[in-house]
Amino acid sequence: MRTFDIVIVGAGHAGAQAAIALRQRKFEGTIALIGDEPDLPYERPPLSKEYLSQDKPFERILLRPATFWAEKQVEIISSTRIVTVDAAAHRVTSATGEMIGYGTLIWATGGSPRRLTCAGHDLAGVHAVRTRADVDRLMGELPATTRVVVIGGGYIGLEAAAVLTKLGKQVTLLEALPRVLARVAGEPLSRFYEAEHRAHGVDVRLETQVECIVGEGGRVTGVRLADGEVVPGEMVIVGIGIIPAVEPLLAAGATGGNGVAVDALCHTSLPDVFAIGDCALHESAFAAGASIRLESVQNANDQAATVAKALTGVEEPYAAVPWFWSNQYDLKLQTVGLSTGHDRAVLRGDLATRSFSLVYLKDGRVIALDCVNATKDYVQGRALVAGGATIAPERLADAAVPLKEMAA
Ligand code: FAD
């Protein structure tokens, strides 16, 4: 049995960054980075942006070149799925039965795309957008595709719709809720993006329930809605969230449910086992102390840094301000903080100029900003979120005054 001082399971953003940060912090022990994908660690955000639009080849979205991992003596074990964890024996077992021992385990497995369960969900032409393989499959089918139905009006569905429209496809976007981005943004932002997509030719349908996927000869031909209408499409993209990949850890006795529960140092309830990234359920001061999972590169990288520090003698609780971005058409959205639970949203600027910010308040305090083509607000708003600034809504609404001048 091979044994490493640190075994990282999941070679995505969080796992790769943990290995990088450990070496940056001069950790000299052995490190294995085990992932079930065949590729070296790569950036996931471009999968629904520049990689899908073919503006960036795969080599340009690698997190680090192959030489880096060799130089840093990080053993990359790819195409290897870990299926069990034995916390007492300090070892993991792969799907092929290989056992690998660890001193410390870092669980960084992200999640798998939530799938539809209705009839036809497994027809050829129905795609998720989570891995390079998903997107390569989808791209391979694009030449024979005229009409695409996107199910889910979250960031990934909207980004895919934007790229595919630009590629000349006829896109219908189906959202079950009354507005897109309903879980993550205030209503003005949702309405803005709905209007933008419609202006670019996307048929955005809200409050629309999917009955099933229909097909012929094993291939999708459309999506049947609850009212009986069939929206035709040679391709269906499903972007309805992820299920955290934590089964092996929970089976080993770790506390959790929708993710694996971690403390402020990203330690799970199992000895010498940490969890980071999309799969880590943590209490967040930016969510009023609620236990949440954050699905963002920021969270993956910052939790990786927290663990790397903890393992090299610096116990610094995870308290990073959440941030996120999304690119659709020529719109660059940058968000800071978490808007969930806001009781007021203040608009800075004019939606019609396509450069504005929404500032979210709770009990008079700034808790988040969504900035569209407004990088200055994003950069300056960060301090307001970090400090929970109290600023009168009328002042925040005055786009002529920079946010940094409003900080107390
Ligand atoms: P992942 O990057 O998903 O890595 C987990 C890895 O573990 C995967 O390779 C997985 O296959 C592997 N794995 C799972 N289970 C096992 C197992 N049992 N054994 C071995 N390996 C396993 N975030 C932003 O901040 N901005 C964006 O614009 C943005 N856009 C996105 C667009 C797309 C299409 C997607 C899919 C995500 C996007 N995100 C974005 C989210 C961001 O990519 C994730 O939050 C980030 O990748 C999380 O990192 P992670 O390491 O936790 O998970």
Q: Closest residue (by CA) to atom 18 of ligand 1?
A: 82
In this structure, the residues whose C-beta lies within 6 A of any atom of ligand 1 are 9-15, 34-37, 44-45, 47-48, 81-82, 108-110, 129-130, 156, 245, 248, 277-278, 295-298, 300, 324-326
pLDDT value of residue 408: 63
Which DSSP letter does residue 310 get? H
pLDDT value of residue 207: 98
Q: Which residues of 220-239 are buried (b: 16+ CB within 10 A; e: fewer)?
A: bbbbbbeeeeebebbbbbbb
* Spatial separation of the C-alpha atoms in residues 294 and 175, rounded to whole Å: 22
- Residue 91's SS3 state is strand
pLDDT value of residue 407: 74
* Spatial separation of the C-alpha atoms in residues 303 and 274, rounded to whole Å: 10
pLDDT value of residue 285: 95
C-alpha count within 13 angstroms, C-beta hemisphere, residue 320:
19
Q: pLDDT, tens digit, for every residue of 10-63?
A: 999 999 999 999 999 999 999 999 999 999 999 999 999 999 999 999 999 999
- 403 CA to centre of ligand 1 in angstroms: 33
Q: pLDDT, tens digit, for every residue of 201-216?
A: 999 999 999 999 999 9
* Spatial separation of the C-alpha atoms in residues 72 and 34, rounded to whole Å: 15
* Distance set, CA 59 to CA 39, 54, 129, 136 (Å): 10, 12, 18, 14
pLDDT value of residue 311: 98
**Average pLDDT value for residue range 111-132:** 97
Q: Closest residue (by CA) to atom 12 of ligand 1?
A: 10
**Average pLDDT value for residue range 99-118:** 98
* Cβ partners under 8 Å of residue 147, min gap 6: 169, 170, 171, 172, 232, 233, 234, 235
Query: Furthest-apart CA pair in the chain: how many Å?
Result: 65
Q: pLDDT, tens digit, for every residue of 243-267?
A: 999 999 999 999 999 999 999 999 9
* Spatial separation of the C-alpha atoms in residues 268 and 4, rounded to whole Å: 19
Q: Which atom of ligand 1 is nearest to the CA of 131?
A: 36
**Average pLDDT value for residue range 148-161:** 98
Q: pLDDT, tens digit, for every residue of 25-34?
A: 999 999 999 9
- 300 CA to centre of ligand 1 in angstroms: 9
Q: Residue 165: is its pLDDT beyond 80? A: yes
Q: pLDDT, tens digit, for every residue of 320-369?
A: 999 999 999 999 999 999 999 999 999 999 999 999 999 999 999 999 99
Mean per-residue pLDDT over the chain, rounded: 97
Q: Closest residue (by CA) to atom 33 of ligand 1?
A: 45
Is pTM beyond 0.75 here? Answer: yes
C-alpha count within 13 angstroms, C-beta hemisphere, residue 114:
13
Place of tokens 């609620």: 290
Q: Which atom of ligand 1 is nearest to the CA of 299?
A: 45
Q: Look up residue 159 and give its two tokens.
A: 């980004």
- 88 CA to centre of ligand 1 in angstroms: 28
Pocket probe mutation, ligand 1, options 17, 109, 156, 184, max atoms within 8 Å of Cβ: 109
